[in-house]
Amino acid sequence: MGPLERLVASHSCELLDASFRGGSLRLVIDHPDGVTHDHCAGVSREASVLLDAEDFGPTSGYLLEVSSPGLDRELYAARDYERFRGHRVKVTFTDRATGNRRTVRGLLEGPSAENPAVALILEDDTGDTLPLTIDSIHKARLLVEL
């Protein structure tokens, strides 16, 4: 576990993603009961001190952004697919038959008890069942339902 992960864990949160783009460092954190403003503020304050002490990033500085995964959260790991079983999702994956990328929407049902190698089963908009493995998925997000 790296220093940022330990810092986030000290706030009873989990670091889901850390990305650096265009002068901004974005940390996405999660908490079992939901991420609060206090979680984000505390992590931001302490991460800023840690990163400055570690002499992180470009010498001209960077913008630190700490946020929750949001309503349309990305699914990062196998446990996310289990946690959000029964939710509607949008998934971009590589079709093993054609080698092409496809994007579908549907209901997340997996993993399958019959085939543990199948990480998730998605009912696409045609009503068909579509078995996928996690390694074929490029991006998966929850769909916001109001």
**Domain 78-142: which CATH number of 2.30.30.520, 1.25.40.320, 3.40.50.720, 3.30.930.10:** 2.30.30.520
pLDDT in single tens digits along all 146 residues of the chain: 799 999 999 999 999 999 988 889 999 999 999 999 999 999 999 999 998 887 665 556 789 999 999 999 999 888 888 888 889 899 999 988 899 999 988 888 876 566 655 556 777 667 778 888 888 899 999 999 77
> What is residue 82's predicted lDDT score, i.e. its pLDDT?
82
From the number of C-beta atoms within 10 Å of its C-beta (0-12, 13-18, 19+), residue 7 rates as buried
Q: What's residue 76's pLDDT?
A: 86
Specify the pLDDT at position 135: 82
**Cα–Cα dist 39/44, whole Å:** 8
What is d(CA 28, CA 44) in angstroms, rounded to the nearest whole number? 11
How many residues are given for the chain? Answer: 146
Q: What number does CATH give the domain 3-67?
A: 3.30.300.70
pLDDT at 119: 56
